[in-house]
Amino acid sequence: MIGFSSVARARWANAGRVTACTLGAYGLTALVTAALSRLLVRLGTDAVEAVTGVTLASFALFAVIAMSAFHARNPARAWSVMILLALPPAMLLLMLSE
């Protein structure tokens, strides 16, 4: 059986965190942005104002998600939290799509 050294394990864990930080945070932020924009438009806000406001807020959301990916104990936990957080906006987006 081939085992990884501690250096290799640390590098793979770091690669998983960087991937979660970039791709996972981007995907989750885009999903939340789309869902909130649709929700605000459905509630009567002008479409341009809804998209602009939610897009501005998404920059802060991306930063928080990216920092939480490095704060997690391991990359699997970071990915599982992101997947669980993606479920409510995905369901909201499916319900609001026309």
Q: Which of 27, 26, 48, 28 is nearest to 37 (CA)?
A: 48
pLDDT higher than threshold 90 for residue 60: yes
pTM value is 0.85
- Domains of the chain, by residue range, sit at 6-96
> How high is the pLDDT of residue 2?
63
How far is 24 from 79, CA to CA, in rounded Å? 7
CA distance 25 to 63: 8
Structure tokens at 51: 């998209």
pLDDT digits (tens, 9 = 90+) for 39-57: 999 999 999 999 999 999 9
Asked whether 29 and 65 are in contact (CB, 8 A), the reply is: yes
